[in-house]
Homo-oligomer: A and B are copies of this chain.
Amino acid sequence: MADTSGGPVLRVAVAGASGYAGGEVLRLLLAHPEYRAGRLEIGALTGGSNAGTALGSLQPHLLPLADRILTETTPEILAGHDVVFLGLPHGQSAAIAQALPESTVIIDCGADFRLTDAAAWEKYYKSPHAGSWPYGLPELPGGRDRLRGATRIAVPGCYPTVASLALAPAVAAGIIEPTVHVVAVSGTSGAGRKPDVGLLASEVLGSARAYNIAGAHRHTPEIVQNLKAAATNSTENRDFDCAGADIAVSFTPVLAPMPRGILATCTAPVLVDAAQARAVYEKAYADEPFVHLLPEGQLPQTGSVLGSNAVTLQVAVDADAGLLVVIGAIDNLTKGTAGAAVQSMNLALGLDETAGLSTVGVAP
């Protein structure tokens, strides 16, 4: 659209535009008020092995961009953009980032720069640690400050997003003992758009299965990192200090026959009663635009946040078992990936944090 303001136009590139993360970034950008106002321009779209193909045949839901042709993913093509979103396989971001100017806002939807702990990275990713970038989860303590003006941003993993938001208030307030159990049911798009027999519809339809159990999933150390940060950064008076302690996270991902969504069940030994627990969450998220503590008794469901950037939570106490139970729902591609990326971009550029992002899901 024509720029009607006369001001400078922001040029945005998406590397990996043929994947699910890249496609979702584009879906959100097409609805972004800056794009609608002609002040944000969608520039290069790159696609590795799909270079030369029209986007319309790869992402047929992005009709306004159907005629755009994917290019190769090179620093030369990405240069000359103000913002570059990366939706690439792990390990490819560092080289691209180094070749682009410091002033380019690079927002990496991949894992390369999420972990601060090199040992954790090497244990889980079996490769050298590239370093860490400001972490794109504004709702964590200190999150917004890290992101304002940042030019390198690591978008959180989808599971850590919901698990961290579900548990951080309890950790920060010290109302749980630091042994948390997370079982998260995910839609299939979290596994990416790779031709894997185990992800075929025939295999997935009508079936649920766990995978990467017993701490094997790469998102485990990221959850640990976030919860430790929540404890450390907290200024609350806590009955129980878990800042210095090792926070033990049991994480089990479960694949369910749905395309999107994560429903996380989080449990931990609790030190307070239900009303106190609820009060902690009400306070923590009172001013958050995207995190919604549902009314008592109403439970999150992934279908309600489809395509939205909302996180819905419910908090309860199982008095018999002595546990805090927190249920959280997100759309793994929106708040869990591309929504966080756009939210981070907004903060980095000084735009309204919520621009182009909705809390209205597409349901039923």
Q: Which residues of B contact A300 (CB under 8 A)?
A: 209-210
Q: Is there an interface contact between A205 and B259, defined as CB atoms closer than 8 Å?
A: yes
Query: A6: CB under 8 A from chain B?
Result: no
Q: Is there an interface contact between B206 and A61, defined as CB atoms closer than 8 Å?
A: no
- Assembly CA distance A189 to B204 (angstroms): 11
Q: Is there an interface contact between A299 and B210, defined as CB atoms closer than 8 Å?
A: yes
Query: A119: CB under 8 A from chain B?
Result: no
Q: Which residues of B contact A202 (CB under 8 A)?
A: 20, 187-189, 191, 193, 199, 259, 364
Q: Which residues of B contact A54 (CB under 8 A)?
A: 295
Query: A286: CB under 8 A from chain B?
Result: no
Copies of this chain = 4
How far in angstroms is the closest Cβ of chain B from A225? Answer: 13
Contacting B at CB under 8 A, from A59-94, are 59-64, 66
- Assembly CA distance A303 to B23 (angstroms): 14
Given contacts A56-B298, A305-B61, A308-B61, contact A207 B321 (CB under 8 A): no
Q: Is there an interface contact between B360 and A31, defined as CB atoms closer than 8 Å?
A: yes
Q: Which residues of B contact A292 (CB under 8 A)?
A: 63, 66
Q: Which residues of B contact A208 (CB under 8 A)?
A: 185, 256, 258, 261, 263, 301-303, 329
A-B CB proximity, top 8 nearest: A207-B303, A61-B361, A209-B301, A195-B195, A201-B204, A61-B363, A183-B183, A214-B316
7 A/B residue pairs, CB under 8 Å, sorted by A? A31-B358, A188-B201, A194-B197, A195-B200, A206-B261, A209-B329, A214-B325
User: A residues near B, CB below 8 A?
Assistant: 20, 23, 27, 30-31, 54, 56-57, 59-64, 66, 179, 181, 183, 185, 187-189, 191, 193-197, 199-211, 213-215, 220, 248-250, 252, 254, 256-261, 263, 265, 267, 292, 294-295, 298-308, 310, 312, 314, 316-323, 325, 327, 329, 358-364
